[in-house]
Amino acid sequence: MRRIGHPGERNVLGRRLVIMLFEGVDLLDVTGPPEVFALLRRETPDATGYQVLLAAATLEPVRTAAGVRVVPDVTFAQAAERRIDTLIVPGAVELDAERNVRALTDPELVAQVRELAARSRRVASVCVGAHLLAAAGLLDGKRATTHWSTAGQLAAEFPAVRVDADPIFVRDGRVWTGAGITACLDLALALVVEDFGEAVALRVARQLVMYLKRTGGQSQFSVPTQPTATTTRRTDELRLHILRHLDAPLTLPDLARQANVSERQLARVFKAELGMTPAAYVESLRVEAARNRLEAAEDTLDRVAAACGFRSVDTLIRAFRRRLDTTPAEYRRRIRGAPEPDPAEGSVR
């Protein structure tokens, strides 16, 4: 694979931007941001843009998670010889025995992150690279995001980090963290906005055929019904009951009776083990169920609302806005390319 942003290329006078490279790294995390920065140079030929360098432990080709080998431009040691404007830290994952995704934090790589970050004006992670920043102590006391599938791991392993799994990207001081996979493009555009202004970034976004700021957060794509390892057996049984009876009322008294505890105790257990109230948890599962129906079927919103336990379409719409920052109709159109609703129809789609 061709080196990206080699020192001999035209962008040599730009802001020095270093992307870390290591075995098993997610390929798009490495190649996505340089595509944004390359279009920046095309849209602003008189601007210097960025000098993009890939840095690794050695100059040997690095095999990414996709199996594609990428050639570094410089070693970590060489990258640290000069001041870095922006350090971008991608991530890598593995599957455990239950095929759950876990972010990797190699101690030697963490040490390199810490050293290079000390030489950088600004630090940004893409996807699960946030785990490397956290392990290096760069996220302590800060708000941060990561891919929704590893947000629980990040919060559990690094309690000093204020994890928010929904935003596409988060900036806290000089540290930026990006959400999952393609969100690296959103993060790169945000860096362009900060450095070169919104008008330039908008032109780049148009070339990428994407919004400068997409609607909604990554909770649109998460799976809140996945089990949480920290819950007790009683809570797990109640969660299963909720999932199987989403069309039932599922009020706090109903759930307390099902669990054979007081309403106050149930509220305390949910807050301690799931980080939310029983009502919020029920709503999250109902929105997830409605989301799945909107993706897979052509049901009207009336039918989706009834099947998922919402009292009305208005209640469904309000829940979608709260949870996903969009509406059911907008969500269906974005995910499935469905046509606009026909005002003449008797029911809402």
Catalytic residues: 127
**Are the CB atoms for 331 and 291 separated by under 8 Å?**
yes
Triad 143, 144, 145: Cα angle to 5°: 145
**Are the CB atoms for 243 and 285 separated by under 8 Å?**
yes
**DSSP bridge pairs for 16:** 51
**Are the CB atoms for 126 and 140 separated by under 8 Å?**
no
Give which of 74, 51, 50 is closest to 62, Cα–Cα: 74
Tokens of 321: 């806005």
Angle, helix 252-259 to helix 278-296, in steps of 10 degrees: 100
Q: How far is residue 104's CA from residue 214's CA, in Å, rounded to a whole number?
A: 28
Q: How far is residue 44's CA from residue 7's CA, in Å, rounded to a whole number?
A: 19
**Are the CB atoms for 182 and 36 separated by under 8 Å?**
no
Triad 270, 275, 273: Cα angle to 5°: 50
Q: Is the Cα dihedral 208, 113, 94, 101 positive or negative?
A: negative
Helix (H) or strand (E) holding 134: helix 129-135
Give which of 343, 342, 345, 321 is closest to 331, Cα–Cα: 321
Per DSSP, the three-state class of 109 is helix
The backbone region for 31, taken as left when phi is positive above 0, alpha when psi lies in -120 to 50, beta otherwise, is: alpha
| DSSP per residue, 166-193 | S-SEEEETTEEEE-STTHHHHHHHHHHH
